[in-house]
Chain A
């Protein structure tokens, strides 16, 4: 949980910029195509359904994957994991599950937070950059928002969080006895998390388009 809270500043900055960028792009391009009335649902879908969850996952990968893999890998090298088991303490209950749950819950919360802040950045861009009355954008969002727009980031945050946490813990536990295995497994955990999240995003985009 502490990892999630400490990620708030970077998520805030990224979300503000991403939200502003998306609203700037849609605010300029959609009127040229004559479909400015779709701005609300498009902004909502892109921020809450696609970019928000994935950008949050990238931030969590950058911040937490390496930290978790290094922590567990070093515990293995120092004999701490063996000691936990020797003392009759369940390794899964004491070490693995709390970290898995922590990352998954943090990721869901951060995904939702990202979406809200990105909308704030979008409003700021609409007001200051596009000279668009903020009430217009609010009305567009208000009339197009659906329950799925709010459920989707939770489900995506859950999926990305599960991937990131499982991969990190798996690679941390793969360390055997040598300290040189720790950076190797850490790099692998970063690459694996990133690859799996990209696969997850692609599958989501394909199947949501087909649905």
Chain B
């Protein structure tokens, strides 16, 4: 099975002398569904930022899609980021863009797709996530549940190889949680997208995940 992400003794953190993880070892293969749990502040978002090249790898090795990410060039970062769909913690939409523009952002300015293509790709998600009436609104008009749904659709719309969800269920109402799980179940049945979920709480539907880990200060520990 092809390895998508591989951390070997990776020193991860915002500052080199105060690492959140002094030696992280984690391998994610194509088709895996990974669930990593850890309390607030332990460094889940730092892992996401390191995966996407926003944080420097201070020591160790990290490869993404077979490329060495120790000191990535701008084209390599672009290549890796375009293969990953990400729902950040709290959703994070751009406040000066409408919902439609937010969803279209990675396609329009990352993949340089036309508006017609974006509209066509968005169509299947509109009913599923009840976004039809929201497209012209700005994020300030949305609640957290809607923001997360928009962010989820934005992460999926370019059909990524790897989907990273950072605390996806925080702030969702029951219907929102069900909508997310329905989409994840479809992803599971289609076997095309690898999924990495980082969350502060454990989840009910553990059968979805092929591997489960618990984050601690000394790294990740597989949960049997």
Residues of A within 8 A of B (CB): 71, 74-75, 78-80, 82-90, 93-94
- Please give 10 more A-B residue pairs, beta carbons under 8 A apart, in addition to A82-B92, A88-B111, A94-B105: A79-B92, A84-B105, A85-B52, A85-B81, A86-B54, A86-B88, A89-B105, A89-B106, A89-B109, A90-B109
**Chain A to chain B contacts (Cβ below 8 Å), 21 pairs:** A74-B95, A79-B90, A79-B92, A82-B49, A82-B54, A83-B88, A83-B93, A84-B94, A84-B105, A85-B52, A85-B54, A86-B52, A86-B84, A86-B86, A87-B86, A87-B105, A88-B84, A89-B105, A90-B109, A94-B105, A94-B109
Shortest CB distance B125–A (Å): 16
Q: Interface code B171-198, partner A: CB below 8 Å = 1, 0 otherwise?
A: 0000000000000000000000000000
Q: How far is the CA of A1 from the CA of B154 in the complex (A)?
A: 28
Shortest CB distance B144–A (Å): 14
A85-B52, A90-B78 known; A80-B106 Cβ under 8 A: no
Shortest CB distance B38–A (Å): 19
Interface status of B66 (Cβ within 8 A of chain A): no
Asked if B92 contacts A83 (CB within 8 A), the reply is yes
Closest A-B pairs by Cβ, 3 of them:
A88-B81, A88-B110, A88-B82
The secondary structure that dominates the B interface is mixed
Number of B residues with CB within 8 Å of any CB on chain A: 22
Q: How far is the CA of A189 from the CA of B161 in the complex (A)?
A: 42
Chain B residue with Cβ nearest A176: B14
Residues of chain A with a CB closer than 8 A to B92's CB: 78-80, 82-83
Q: How far is the CA of A86 from the CA of B86 in the complex (A)?
A: 7
Residues of chain A with a CB closer than 8 A to B96's CB: 71
Chain A residue with Cβ nearest B94: A80
A79-B90, A82-B88, A93-B109 known; A87-B81 Cβ under 8 A: yes
Residues of chain A with a CB closer than 8 A to B90's CB: 79
Residues of chain A with a CB closer than 8 A to B81's CB: 85-88
